[in-house]
Amino acid sequence: MLRAATKAEPSHRAIQVYNTNSWPRTDVVFLSAEESSAGDRVIGPRGALLRSQRLSSGELAVLVANIPPFSSEELVVAPGNADRGDSAQVTGNALGNDSLSLAINPQTGAVASLKWKKNGVELVDPSRGGLDEYLYVLGTDSKKAQRIANVRVKTKERGDLVVSILVEGDAPGAKHYSSEVRLVEGIDRVDIITKIDKLAVREKEGVHIAFPFSVPEGQLRYDVADGIVRPEADQLAGACKNFFSVQSWVDISNRDYGVTWATANAPLVEIGEITAEQPWMKSIKTSSSIYSYVMNNYWNTNYKADQEGPVTFSYSIRPHPAFDATEVAKFGVERRQPLIVSVSDSHSSPHPSLMELSSTKLLVSSIRPVTAANSGGFTSITRWRRLRQRFGDRGAPTRSRARLADCPAASLRRMDTRLAPLDRQTAV
């Protein structure tokens, strides 16, 4: 919808890339064939050439770096070849970039190996299969879960910036199944795009996608309602443990390292095993394996209980050092809130940063205008979020300076949910 709303004629080359987060962003953006019809050469701020690559879809992938918070930068797509640099690699069923290496099992289509080059540790538990493995349960007995058959693995993207492998196969319960596993040079994450064209099935069924990570002595955490939860420890008595709803991420970390799994559109997970339709669980064991619980028709309804048609589920995986709540939260937000591409009718000035914070421990969740009548003279309201590093931490106040652009009379005031001031205003 964003792309359609900002679409311009193909002849226009000026493109604004917006960062709507309160921290700098480095990421890859994808320009449609129409938006990048002028060529493969991309010029960024101050005339710098940016890494780019024409993809098999016709899109142009562009790597943009360090876009300031709440700002935009202009890109110009010009005739000529893409700028090249250090190269990502694809060799047979394996991918690699400057941070990660992975391999696909050609028999199952799952990610059989994932290693972070900083420590060389294997992040996949081979005893439980592989990452991104499709599991279909007809009925409620998870021991009878079916996998894809006639697996076909091929290279989809082969360039110095973007490399990817496409896995296809005959998936029970589906007309068609494919999953693209992608790496980008300069980006320390794996992106997985899974597409399922579901058959209309009225019998009881469930679709799960397995992610058996290997993090010895790992603590599992997930986010919900801008908070961080540890299963069992932070749940009320009697809370559901058969499956969990997450806002955007699950993290498994030990003292030295961990891995964050994030999704923008698959919020239900099971921990340890496929347990959604098992008897009500009163406790749950620690595990580094999670299952994305993407479909089911187990509940009785008064409408047709099938889910026919195409659907896409997106996942991202990033290894990291010891758990840092703020960095994990940023990763989750970034997957739900990507950089926005807008094609301009003509060259326009980039938008300077609206706000910058001196503290890296504060995240701005939202900014919106309010009327002077209910804000005591304020013209905008900002929602802040602070994440505790340790669960035993009562939290000393986090001090931060905020720089607001083009706002010489800026001040700060705490307000309640009705926008009534709670204290005196303080100059920024």
Q: How many angstroms separate the CA atoms of 79 and 213, rounded?
A: 44
pLDDT in tens, 9-18: 444 478 999 9
Question: Are 115 and 102 contacting, i.e. CB atoms less than 8 angstroms apart?
Answer: yes
Q: Among candidates 348, 345, 346, 407, which has minimal Cα distance to 382?
A: 407
Angle at 353 between CA 386 and CA 184, to 5 degrees: 80
Give me the pLDDT at residue 371, please: 58
Give me the pLDDT at residue 423, please: 65
- State which amino acid sits at residue 406: D
Confidence label for 402 from pLDDT (cuts 50, 70 and 90): low
Tell me whether residue 171 is exposed, middle or buried, using C-beta atoms within 10 angstroms of its C-beta: 0 to 12, 13 to 18, 19 or more: buried
Give me the pLDDT at residue 362, please: 80
Q: Which structural domains are found in the chain, ordered by start?
A: 2-84+338-343 (2.60.40.2210), 89-336 (2.70.98.30), 358-427 (no CATH)
Q: How many angstroms separate the CA atoms of 254 and 160, rounded?
A: 33
Q: How many angstroms separate the CA atoms of 19 and 143, rounded?
A: 45
**Percent of the chain, pLDDT > 90?**
69
Give me the pLDDT at residue 381, please: 47
C-alpha distances in angstroms, 274 versus 212, 376, 383?
12, 53, 37
Query: Among positive and negative, which fits the CA dihedral 116, 314, 62, 352?
Result: negative
Give me the pLDDT at residue 225, please: 87
Give me the pLDDT at residue 401, please: 65
Q: How many angstroms separate the CA atoms of 253 and 215, rounded?
A: 7
Report the mean per-residue pLDDT for the chain: 86
Residues 6+ apart with CB under 8 A from 186: 26, 51, 63, 65, 86, 97, 98, 161
pTM to 2 decimals? 0.88
C-alpha distances in angstroms, 187 versus 64, 216, 272, 331?
11, 25, 29, 12
Q: How many angstroms separate the CA atoms of 161 and 61, rounded?
A: 8
Question: Are 78 and 178 contacting, i.e. CB atoms less than 8 angstroms apart?
Answer: no
Q: How many angstroms separate the CA atoms of 363 and 417, rounded?
A: 19
Give mean pLDDT, residues 190-209. 96
373: pLDDT strictly greater than 60: no
DSSP reduced 3-state for 329: helix
Confidence label for 85 from pLDDT (cuts 50, 70 and 90): confident
340: pLDDT strictly greater than 60: yes
